[in-house]
Chain A
Amino acid sequence: MDFLVPLLAQLTNGLIIGFIYALMALGLTLIFGVLKVINFAHGEFYMLGAYISYIASRMLGLHPIIGIIAAVAVVFIIGMLMEKALLTPIYEDKVERKDEYALLITFGLSIFLMNGALVVFGPYQKSPEPLASGVLDLGVLSVSSGRIYAVVLAIIFMAATLFIINKTWLGTALRALSQDRDASTIMGINAKTLGSIAFGLGAAMAGAAGALLAPVFLVFPIMGVVPAIKSFVIIILGSMGSIKGAIYGSLLLGIVESLGVFFLSPSYRDGYSFLLLIIILLVKPKGLFGGSQWNN
């Protein structure tokens, strides 16, 4: 029974990471649901969030919590502006192949931001002020308190987002927009503005995830690549556009990774997502949560 405690520790870790993946994947789902666009720059919003929290906490000397809030706010604004600048032609019928355009332009944005960060901050790994130091003793296992804080904040952010989506005018309009764009316009909803807000919110969630994980995984220009790919896998896993799917898919991936680390090999942690993706594509390509609608 000796292996149980380390296994439990791994699973706890997997769940913690899973919740933070969920934050990021939820952002991607929000963007996809409303705009029908996959944001290939999602990882770079994660990276921006991490750098902003680093700047706030290390360079400006602010409290780490303020750093995280600043990251969310700034990335929200950047996301909104990027959507306005780059994605609006899709809805003005100015682009011939919309999917292709959206794919390539968000990918271009990703390359630009990634290499821009390289120019501005250099390739070195940086570490923002952690939320807390030390470990939390939970009887048989102990978890670093920094991670506990991170996961608690992630859950708060997610709960706030779900509240907005399910209970507010804005959220109802976003869900309406994801289901029928023309019908939303007939209601007097400004689809363009709401689209920008949705993109900003989605980006801000990636930014939040980046800021939360920055002390754990350090900050560097290409830090967003792997988390972004994991959220891509998650949204396929959880059926594209499904909020429930994004959350459960994230937790599932967190657990699969920790099991893989425990039973197979720790160095392949980031590879298990791809294995999972292949299995899903072979067995249930539409994902585990059926339709593409926003079932909340």
Chain B
Amino acid sequence: MEQLEKRILAVLLVVALFLPLFVDDYALHIVILACFFIMMASSWNLLAGYSGQVSFAHMALASSGAYTSGLISVHLGIHPVLSILVGAVVAGLVGLFLGVLTLRMKDSYLALTTIAFAEIFRLVISLEYKVTNGKVGLSVPGLFGDITSKLPYYYTAIGLVVLMVFFGIYRLVYSNFGLTVRSIREDEIAASAMGVKVVRHKIIVFTISSAMAGVAGGFLAHYNQLVSPEMTTITQMGMVISMAVIGGLGTFIGPIIGGLSLEIIAEYVKEFGNYHLMIFGLILILVLRFSPQGIAGLITKFHNRKKKKVSTSASTEKEVQK
């Protein structure tokens, strides 16, 4: 990762740590939601941006983790911390199943199957109201019991982002395994010619990213104390994809910036009506068409240009001194 990216992330983290001193609960609520979306967008980016597999089931997988965690914490009385982990395992297993089913085939099969899975999953949880309480949603215990303060949730959300994204995804992407995965995205045929087990690597990445979605979904469920089918709609999936792509697909910092900024924009636009998703859809199209590296790409470009300017002005100064 570039120095610039590291600096931006460090600043964001410091701001995040001291933010509760200056803002109200509503602002914290938005940041908590943003953290959920950062986890979703980053783990989706791990899949799409680094390994080149476009899945539309990421929200559905998060939702599978959320429902699993919600249901077992309600019925078995298990503490949410444990149930979230179980939810993550279930989400990972569902991802594994979808991966085994489709990843032998061409890329488009994964996209087609996952979009079908997401809708059917939503259908099932909406219809099985005896278990899931249908469209109304399932009430689940809070992660910190009945505490009304946002603070513990806030720091947990930040902690999860640091753990999952800053450590987990970062390490994974820049490990040998990550290098192999990225080589598959660049040139699948060349990678398999070099002896890389392409399908197996794809399935592993898909499973990991599904489990990550499960954690994020579980956390959101026990923060909202409610799980509903709303989370699984195509539109919500569109939100995650917009965040990752507008932020910068295949860049580390992109989904973080995308998740944070789009969630904040969405909250403020919502006051005027449901325009935000139309706008995000439009920006998503424009970014893909004209600036595929997204915001992260623009930052790098701007930074490089500035650096160039500084270095040229420095060299002219030297000339003058001579």
Contacts and interface: CB of A to CB of B under 8 A. Distances in A.
Interface of A: 38, 40, 85-86, 89, 95-97, 99-101, 103-105, 107-116, 118-119, 222, 225-226, 229, 232-233, 235-236, 240, 267-268, 270-271, 273-274, 277-278, 281-282, 285
Interface stretch (B204-212, B221-229, B283-291): B283-291
Contacts of B249: 104
Interface string B93-125: 000000001101111110111011101100110
Given A118-B278, A271-B124, A232 B116 contact: yes
A77 B192 CA distance: 42
5 contacts: A104-B245, A109-B285, A119-B274, A236-B112, A281-B102
A104 B244 CA distance: 11
B285 A86 contact: yes
Contact of A108 (B48, B115, B116, B284): B284
B62 interface: no
Interface of B: 48, 52, 54, 56, 101-102, 104-109, 111-113, 115-117, 119-120, 123-124, 127, 185, 233-235, 238, 241-242, 245, 249, 273-275, 277-278, 280-282, 284-285, 288-289, 292
Contacts of A89: 289
A273 B109 CA distance: 15
Contacts of B288: 101, 104-105, 108
The CB with the most chain A CB atoms within 10 A, among B116, B124, B127, B235, is that of B116
B111 A271 contact: no
Contacts of A229: 115-116, 119
Given A112-B284, A115-B278, A236-B109, 7 more contacts: A38-B111, A103-B107, A107-B56, A115-B235, A119-B274, A222-B234, A225-B119
A225 B124 CA distance: 16
B136 to A, nearest CB: 16
Given A100-B48, A108-B288, A278 B245 contact: no
A225 B281 contact: no
Contact of B274 (A101, A113, A115, A232): A115
Given A38-B112, A105-B288, A274-B120, A112 B282 contact: yes
A103 B54 contact: yes
Nearest to B56: A107
Contacts, number: 132
Contact of B108 (A99, A109, A110, A233): A99
Contacts of A240: 108
B115 to A, nearest CB: 6
A279 to B, nearest CB: 11
B273 A268 contact: no
A90 to B, nearest CB: 11
A74 to B, nearest CB: 20
A115 B115 contact: no
A109 B104 contact: no
A229 B106 CA distance: 18
Nearest to B111: A103
A92 B100 CA distance: 34
B108 A268 contact: no
A237 to B, nearest CB: 11
Contacts of A114: 234-235, 277, 281
B275 A119 contact: yes
A233 B104 CA distance: 17
Contacts of B48: 100, 104
Contacts of B111: 38, 40, 103
Contacts of B52: 97, 100
Contact of A105 (B116, B235, B285): B285
Given A100-B48, A111-B277, A267 B127 contact: yes
